[in-house]
Chains A and B, each alone.
Chain A
Amino acid sequence: MDVYKIVVIGDKDAGKSTLIGKIATLTKSVSKARINEAKKESKKLGKDFEPAFILDAFKEEREKGLTIDTTAVEVLYKNVAFQFIDVPGHESLIKNMLSGASNAEIGVVVISAKQGEGLARETKLHIKLANMLGIDKFIFFINKMDTNDYSKEKAIEIWNETHNFLLPSINDIKYIGFVPGSALNGDNILKRSSKITWYKGGSLMECLYDLVKSDKKIGKNMPTIITLQGTFEDKIFGKIISGDIKQNKYYHLMPDNKKVSIDEYKKNGSSVSLKISELDKSDIYGKVLVEDKNDVTVSGNINAKMFFIKKPEKRFYISFLGKKYKASLNYRGNKKKLVFINGTIKLEENIAYQSFNKIKELGRFAIYDENLNFNGFGIIN
């Protein structure tokens, strides 16, 4: 069965881990032992049952009541499988948030309706980053509605504020949903809550179910593109990222611009092993095979939208298809941390790429600083 990947984002303490823990408990997706362990530990720390402890398995996470690193739990609801990805909300842990969100298709944004909380700066940052990573479907869960007597006015106020932020900030959105509820009390999680009579829509899980059911994955007639990942004996390994492979057909090795023909191949799904006798196998990692040369652009100048965690330096590395390239950027703007930059980076050598909108795998890269520490990511325009 297909598993739909949902990342739950939002500010620290908005209730992300609690929400996933509650969904996992209500759908009986984790073992009794794991729930009992979480209950026992909650009690030891003088708390009522914290569903978040199902996700927050580290001692430090439980004692401090925060998520340090991303994790995931699978949930079965009406015979549809969802993987809920938990991420930390703290700004200082943004690399862990990106690690979790990069694998998701749908975003659930948790916003606390508690007095003094609401749509926070971190939540806005999360939404922008998730959208940049390619997530175009969001459901907003207005959490902690029990703290304001399930007030319609408060929910609408948050929703209006969110809506005003979304319009100019995010792109190519396919779906936006809105569910008020309470993760801790289980309101509007699985079943519709009787306490929120003014809200006529579905529960969070009902909305997610409808969303994935209406989301038909159409197998388009895509060009063949294979990324290469090294050799073994006389074979070359790769991954088919679009289209399909044919024997005795000519392909172009890019960025080398060399015409080759595939003598033999063996597929395990998208993972392939290829025999190409006329190819120098010593230097193929990170290169691509394409049917039509025009399916990729070959250049060392890449125009991209980038996000830097620490202040951007003039020189850094990008990791593209697993290979690191030296890059430089002439950036004159205000150097801050957590900054978005639209610009052209110059690489030390040419790569074969495509815009992120057309082929995701060939249109994205991770950013590392000069000491090879992670410092963000980029999406090719």
Chain B
Amino acid sequence: MIEQNLKELEEKSIYILREANARFKNIAVLWSMGKDSTTVLYLIRKAFLGKVPFPVIYIDNGIDFPESYKFRDELAKKWHLNLIVAKSEIKPEISGFSCCGANKTEALKKVLKEHKFDALIVSIRRDEHGVRAKERIFSPRDKNFKWNYKDQPAELWDDYSSKIENEGHIRIHPLLDWNEIDVWRYIKQEHIPVNPLYFARNGFRYRSLGCTHCTVPIKSNAKTIDDIIKELKTTTIEERAGREQDKEKEFVMQRLRALGYM
């Protein structure tokens, strides 16, 4: 796994976040309590004089891990987050693809509409998935959250397109260039708080966090951030191997993203 220059990644992410702030009136940030979106919250604090000046949306389906809820409440207090909890209903008969699509995405649609957000900061990375690797830094969605991936706007240099069509919004991707290992190296360097589920207990840890229904842990003895970085240097396993929605059927990620999933 390639370890990039953290200084350069940081300055670019800060640039992207400030550019979003200059261009949009009503920005929100999506927080899953995972390592990537927590790192983005930290970068937002760096970019905006120690503050998180945007509402932080957390989609609550009621079945996240208890550790995550505790982590959420502690960090929300510590960083003075303006937290919007979007309740998403879990129906036992719906799982996998439909679960993420119907539940999480629908809950997010409701929140964006209600608060009239025109931009949403999302913490996806190019190295996570081939479909996410096709994303732009500023990526438009229409009002139904549809991603028109066959005709994305041009994005030359750092001249990002902020044209919003028919009551849609723009997704802002400040972490697109980062690799998984860079996120962990940065967490270590900056002492960023991290969800305890990432660390191994009884020989297992979570490498990627979803909700309790569709996330399974990987075999690991990595108990510290250093252990995780060491593990990543030698692993050949995909980061999202424990995430059901990625592998259920071919092109699931593409279909989910086209419908507005993160």
Q: A: which residues have CB within 8 A of B?
A: 1-3, 28-29, 31-34, 37, 40-41, 44, 54-55, 57-60, 68-74, 76, 81, 95-96, 98-99, 102-103, 229-230, 232-233, 235, 237, 239, 268-271, 273, 285, 319, 322, 361, 364, 366, 372, 374, 377
Contact = CB atoms under 8 A, between A and B. Distances in A.
A232 B2 contact: no
Contacts of B46: 268
Contacts of B21: 230, 232, 237
B126 interface: yes
Minimum-distance CB pairs A-B, first 7? A57-B130, A230-B22, A269-B11, A33-B238, A374-B154, A102-B156, A95-B154
B237 A269 contact: no
A31 B150 contact: no
Given A269-B7, A269-B11, A31 B238 contact: yes
B123 to A, nearest CB: 18
* Contact-size category for B: 35 or more
B18 A230 contact: yes
- Most chain A beta-carbon neighbours within 10 Å: one of B49, B129, B239, B241: B49
B80 interface: no
Contacts, number: 138
- Most chain B beta-carbon neighbours within 10 Å: one of A54, A374, A377: A374
A41 B130 CA distance: 13
Contacts of A34: 130, 238
B156 A377 contact: yes
A72 B178 CA distance: 12
A239 B15 contact: yes
Contact of B4 (A57, A81, A268, A361): A81
28 contacts: A1-B5, A2-B5, A32-B236, A32-B238, A41-B250, A58-B254, A71-B126, A71-B134, A72-B133, A74-B179, A76-B2, A81-B4, A99-B136, A102-B156, A229-B18, A229-B19, A229-B22, A230-B18, A232-B21, A232-B48, A237-B22, A268-B11, A269-B7, A269-B8, A271-B15, A319-B159, A372-B163, A377-B156
